[in-house]
Structure 1
Amino acid sequence: AFKDSIEFEFFQSNHEGYIIDKIHEANENFDGIVINPGAFTHYSYAIADAIKSIKTKVVEVHISNIHKREEFRQKSVTASSCIGQISGFGFYSYILGVSAVLNCEVE
């Protein structure tokens, strides 16, 4: 179930450093992050490390099912830093990601 009131902030950048800065800011200012790292999914250890460095819950989402795509797209270096990964449900993946942030306990 969703809370009575949810506030969202949307952020998009093609620059890895800006994404890392936003992840670090979230540690102080947000209850969770739903992130679609795009191509960074497959090679950004810097984003993976930024996610590991915060206490805020992070869920990785993808519109397409990355496991049905090209072999190099099936590997996520960022997913293991997150509480989970959701892929393949189109834009509904984002709604599932928000639900996971709100309802899943972190170990």
Structure 2
Amino acid sequence: MPRTRKPTREEIWERRAAINEKARGARLRLPEGIAEMRHALGLSQAEFAKIFSLTTRQVSEMERGNANPTAATLNRIGKVFGFQIGFVPRETSGAASVRAASKE
């Protein structure tokens, strides 16, 4: 499989900013978030795995949603982006209705 070129420092910062924006809006979800973070850094699964003391298989399974990473693993990965794991409330139609009504 041919290697793609490594992103420039500027491209990495732009990708990180986009991921941070998604996280702020509670739109960064597992498993896609793991792949997005890896791509933002311009890393292969093997390179990403080595940095975070994982196996390539673990990275692949996390990205496909077939793994249950520990909180410690998610925190190690997220730390690079300034993230910590936590609970985010789900948006429900009932909650949206209550919020809309309270603005009137």
TM-score, length-scaled by structure 2: 0.32
Give 1 or 2: higher helix fraction: 2
**Largest Rg, 1 or 2:** 2
TM-score, length-scaled by structure 1: 0.31
